[in-house]
Amino acid sequence: MKETFEFLKKRTQVNYVSTINGNKPSCRPFGDPVLFDNKIYVLTSKQKNVSKQIAINNNVCIVAYDEKNWIRINCQLIDDSNNIDAKKAILNEFDWAEDAGYTLDNPDFQTLYIANADVTIYDEDGEILENYSF
């Protein structure tokens, strides 16, 4: 799990999260993850389509590229929005979050953590460098 977090947090600037929208894939950029309580968290708003799609089917694929290698994470995103400590950790990590409306009293502030992850890191040629689960 630490390798996954390091790749997403320190080696890349944008991570792409793919969900299912009806019967079609949908992909969008996500920002930095946060490591809290030995889990990798991401944040979004419950008003966004990504949140609505995850509520229907929380199986997602996360992909990122660091100019040399790339990572694919097939996982579930688990809604943990009732976890105030996780929200505080996210707010402490990002000085822009409160200005963007992510406050503890905002019911649309959604926290999700990665679970049941199958992770593969590839080189530029598509050769597998690492493969693990958490």
Q: Are 41 and 25 in contact (CB under 8 A)?
A: no
| Number of compact structural domains in the chain | 1
pLDDT of residue 2: 95
Share of the chain above pLDDT 90, in %: 97
pLDDT in tens, 68-95: 999 999 999 999 999 999 999 999 999 9
CA distance 46 to 43: 10
pLDDT of residue 41: 98
**Burial per residue of 104-124, b for 16 or more beta-carbon CB atoms within 10 angstroms, e otherwise:** eeeeebbbbbbeebebebbee
Phi, psi dihedral angles at 23 (to 5 degrees): -115, 15
Read off the pLDDT band of 36 (50, 70, 90).
Answer: very high
Q: Are 75 and 62 in contact (CB under 8 A)?
A: yes
pLDDT of residue 65: 97
pLDDT of residue 31: 87
pLDDT of residue 88: 97
Read off the pLDDT band of 98 (50, 70, 90).
Answer: very high
Read off the pLDDT band of 105 (50, 70, 90).
Answer: very high
The CATH number of whichever domain residue 70 belongs to comes to 2.30.110.10
Q: Using the predicted structure, report yes or no on whether residue 30 has a pLDDT greater than 90.
A: yes
Q: What range defines the domain where residue 34 resides?
A: 2-133
Q: Using the predicted structure, report yes or no on whether residue 38 has a pLDDT greater than 90.
A: yes
pLDDT of residue 113: 98
| Cα-Cα end-to-end distance for the chain | 6
Instruction: Provide the Cα torsion 60, 40, 28, 49; round to 10°.
Output: 70
